[in-house]
Chains A and B, each alone.
Chain A
Amino acid sequence: MSTSTPQNPQAPEDPTAASSSTENAIELKDVVGLSQGQIVRKRFVRHKGAMLGLLFLILTALLAFTSVGFGPVPGWWQYNGRETNLAVVEAGGAPTMHLPSFLGGPGFAIGDHPFGQDELGRDMFARVMLGVQTSLKVMFIIGLVSCILGILVGALAGFYRGRLDSILMRLTDLFITVPVLVIGAVVGKITGGVSAAVFAASMGLLLWTSLARLVRGEFLALREREFVDAARVAGASSPRIIFKHILPNAIGTIIVSTTLLMSSAILLETALSFLGFGIREPEISLGALISQYQQAFSTRPWLFWWPGLFIVIIALTINFIGDGLRDAFDPRQKRIPSDRKMSRADAVSRRPAGVIPMQTQDTQGRP
């Protein structure tokens, strides 16, 4: 691979441009002695966007689960989001959280109801935190269920091919035919009264199709490889080949598309709840909150902002993590510095009296 970047081919080839063998040697130095997993982990940790995303996701989850508590565990926040008729602190139930004075606010304060109160006097912070909990739970359950199903269907179809393949793929087509939102609405209507977990599981039963197709493609390609033949000659059973030999090689695709699936799942759940087909009272989800407070926008806009903001935060962090994972798993991804950085580095290395850069030094003809 040459060092010239696509946008500027007319630029004079930079003198440090080495032969491809030197470059490969440099590249290899980066990964020498590391297992595939270690390489991926190293790349992932180096991806700034993904690490920031992970950090924010963990912080959000911590905030949501510790503040109002979950299950029998009590949280540190004073309200649980269900008490009505709390004393109204600011006029109209406005948020008591204020910006610090250097940002133009009246001085930093959190107050009793940082996100404000709704028309029944309920504490909005606690309600949003409950919504975040539900949304995160729903997201992980959807991810888990559809991941397992997608892997199973895709692996069986791709590995055994033939009749099983066509049956499973027709089944997948069947699920793809109807827009997810539609099935979701029907399922939501049927399971309307049940808990978020059941709702999430039934959504997971519908969303596995894209993953199944991807996994099938991977399996179709991988089953023809030599290491599979080797395993079979060594006497490995089909399940062992599937799970021990092929699956680990397809894990990159699976993880990446599951992450992306989770980020679209959270938007789907909120959208369904917004339409009134998803999670309903007494369970709280972010979409249900927005839907519930849509009418109050002109009088209490903050009821509308906070749930939306948290949906964006969660979806954004997951998308960044997915992007980082994709880069980490893709062996072709290389971090190439921009033209300007290259030329700056070039100028620096050229300054010491025109010394020939090390990589191109011709060591052959020297005494």
Chain B
Amino acid sequence: MLNFLTRRLVAGLLTLFVSLFLMYVLVDIAIDPLADLRESTAPNKQQLIAARIELLDLNTNVVVRFLQWCGGVLHGDFGIAWKTGESVSDLVAHAIGSTLQLVTAATFLSLVVGVVVGIVSALRQYSAFDYVIIFLSFLLYSLPSFWVAVLLKQWAAIGFNNFLRDPWIAWPTLIGVALIAGLLWSLAIGGSAARRWQVFGIAAAATFGMFAYLQLTDWWLEPKIGPILLLVMGAGTAFAFAAVFAGLHNRRALWASLTTVAVGFIAYFPMQTVFKMDIFGPSGNGASWLILLLAVVAIGVGFLIGRLYGGPDWGVSARTSAAVAFVMAALIFVDKVMQVWPPYSKALGGRPIPTFGDRTPGLGGNYWVTVLDSFTHLVLPTATLVLIAFAAYTRYSRSSMLEVMSQDYIRTARAKGLPEREVVVRHGFRNTLIPLATIVPIDVITLIGGAVITEAVFSRPGMGQLFVKSLEEAQVDPVMAYLLITAGLAIIANIVADIIYAVIDPRIRLDA
């Protein structure tokens, strides 16, 4: 293992060095820092050009300049963006924060939704649902991201903001939405005709009921979860997780999850006081760390509840209740964020979905307002990335699941009489994740450097924007810093993918 790591790291560093050298030369050819001066009509044009050449050291050979740049990087000096005189380290530090927000949210969402839909689609191979999903994923996969981004910006954002002015959905529209939702659920769950009708009815009624509730309680203007909805949603999550991860016949897991929900429900009330502490105020610091800590505590409590229920297979209960606890914690967090929605919406003049930037300048407010502000700024870019990544993950997980489900060990698992849930979740799903585990790290890393288009359309000041802007403005140092980071991360991602592969698939040996 160690041998493998050193070998790969040395090879990676060499590749990095050579690729950076090539990039430096290419960028040097591509940019022309003197372009604006050549066309200037200033009387002291020659002097200005000479000064610029002096500033950027343009008379030195490009190879020497590259080596100087490398020397600087080794000392932790990434140079300066000469147009503004800012240090590149500061620029990158700001940009990478904005990009990470976007990438984390988008990857997490698209991965969860994509894998679930892909697996369901594979389990219903050649059914109507499967065909709908195949076509949808092909369509989304073929969409140019900038086109989607601009359409979302122009239609979804502006349309939704207009809708908020007078939030009322016509009843026929709601019925139509409910019928479509019912149809999709019945196709996804499948089974006999009677079962399909049953699922269709329940899903359509539930969807209609949910929208009617939102509509009648003026939820669109004052979104909140509140204790009652928290309890309902928590119980639903507990049943769903227990059914998938443990099977409903495993009463211990079910009771553990439900207990977790009850604990979360009780914790909701003291948490409201905790959330008013000074650390969440306008001048508070480290609130994000506290939230992270609370999330970890929640997961720990869930795990403990599962453990205390004991039984021969306590691991299943512990895992299930930990997952439920995480969802409960997230719901409580979201509820708190939603509570600041009315004043926030008012502060933005009733048009709360912004179409550019990553924060509202000069907004002020406490931690919760800041969080809500970055959420609303994330909605559209995340939607863009999710739509396209969702298609890719659906396709991967579908084909991977099909491959796994045709293996002999699945037939063996069925032959020895395991319930279908166990065959799918334990034998099928886990092995489906193996190829995905090698794709995801590389995807995430590519996204960190590569959300270029989404960032350009929504003018989010992230890494992609940093690169594109600097390249346009002929600033070599920020461009090279960007390339150093993306190339370095790409090399690391490849090594990580190999290691993950070896860890989860014992047939692969890295030292062979």
Please say whether chains A and B are actual partners in one complex: yes
Task: List residues of A whose CB falls within 8 A of some B CB.
Answer: 1-2, 5-7, 9-10, 170, 173-174, 176-179, 181-183, 185-187, 189-190, 263, 267, 270-271, 274-276, 287, 290-291, 294, 297-298, 301, 304, 308, 311-312, 315-316, 319-320, 323, 332, 335-339
Residues B26 and A271 in contact, CB atoms below 8 Å apart: no
**CA separation between A364 and B132, bound complex, in Å?**
47
Cβ contact within 8 Å between B29 and A323: no
B binding-site residues for A, Cβ under 8 Å: 11, 14-16, 18-19, 22-23, 26-27, 29-31, 122-127, 138-139, 141-147, 150-151, 154, 190, 405-406, 410-411, 414, 420, 423, 446, 449-450, 452-453, 456, 467-468, 471-472, 482-483, 486-487, 490-491
B23 partner residues in chain A, CB cutoff 8 A = 178, 186
Q: Which of A176, A270, A338 contacts B126 (CB 8 A)?
A: A338
Chain A residue numbers with a CB within 8 Å of B151 are: 308
CB-based contact A312/B139 at 8 Å: yes
> Given A6-B125, A185-B471, A271-B146, 18 other A-B contacts at CB below 8 A?
A9-B420, A9-B423, A170-B11, A173-B11, A174-B18, A178-B487, A182-B449, A182-B486, A186-B27, A186-B30, A270-B146, A274-B144, A275-B468, A287-B146, A304-B150, A311-B144, A315-B142, A338-B127
Contact B449 A312 (CB under 8 A): no
- Beyond A9-B414, A271-B145, A290-B146, whether A186 also contacts B471 by CB under 8 A is yes
Chain A residues with CB under 8 Å of B452's CB are 181, 275
For B141, the chain A residues whose CB sits under 8 A away are 315, 319
- Nearest to B130 among chain A residues (CB) is A338
Chain B's closest residue to A173 (CB) is B15
User: How many A-B Cβ pairs are below 8 Å?
Assistant: 131
Distance between Cα atoms of A271 and B146 in the complex (Å) = 7
| Contact assessment for B126 and A336 in the assembled complex, using a CB-CB cutoff below 8 Å | yes
Q: Which residues in A have their C-beta under 8 angstroms from that of B26?
A: 183, 186-187, 190
Interface of B is mostly: helix
* Contact A190 B125, beta carbon cutoff 8 Å: no
Q: Are B123 and A6 in contact (CB under 8 A)?
A: yes
Given contacts A177-B491, A178-B483, A182-B483, contact A312 B142 (CB under 8 A): yes
CB of A194, distance to nearest CB on chain B (Å): 13
Interface centre among A182, A290, A315, A319 (most CB of B within 10 A): A182
CA distance A40 to B383 in the complex (A): 39
CA gap between A339 and B127 in the complex, in Å: 8
A186 to B142: give the CA distance in the assembly, Å. Answer: 25
Q: Are B405 and A6 in contact (CB under 8 A)?
A: yes
- Asked if B125 and A336 sit within 8 Å, CB to CB, the answer is yes
**Complex Cα spacing A338 to B126, Å:** 6
Complex CA–CA separation, A179 to B489 (angstroms): 11
Chain B residue contacts of A287, Cβ below 8 A: 144, 146
Beta-carbon contact of B468 and A297 below 8 Å: no
Measured CB to CB, the nearest residue on chain A to B402 is A6
CB < 8 Å neighbour of A297 from B150, B406, B453, B486: B150
Complex-state Cα separation, A345 to B414, whole angstroms: 25
- Contact (Cβ within 8 A) A190 B29: yes
A135 CB to closest chain B CB, in angstroms? 11
B144 touches A319 (CB 8 A): no
A263 touches B142 (CB 8 A): yes
The chain A residue with its CB closest to the CB of B126 is A338
Assess whether A185 is in contact with B468, with CB atoms less than 8 Å apart. Answer: yes
- Assess whether A7 is in contact with B486, with CB atoms less than 8 Å apart: no
13 contacts between A and B (CB under 8 A): A178-B490, A186-B27, A186-B471, A263-B142, A290-B147, A297-B150, A311-B147, A312-B147, A315-B141, A315-B143, A332-B406, A335-B126, A336-B125
What separation, in Å, do the CA atoms of A315 and B391 have in the docked complex? Answer: 14
Bound together, the chains give a CA A366 to CA B285 distance in angstroms of 89
With known contacts A178-B487, A185-B468, A7–B143 Cβ distance under 8 A: no
**A residues in contact with B450, CB < 8 Å:** 179, 181
State A275–B145 Cα separation when bound (angstroms): 12
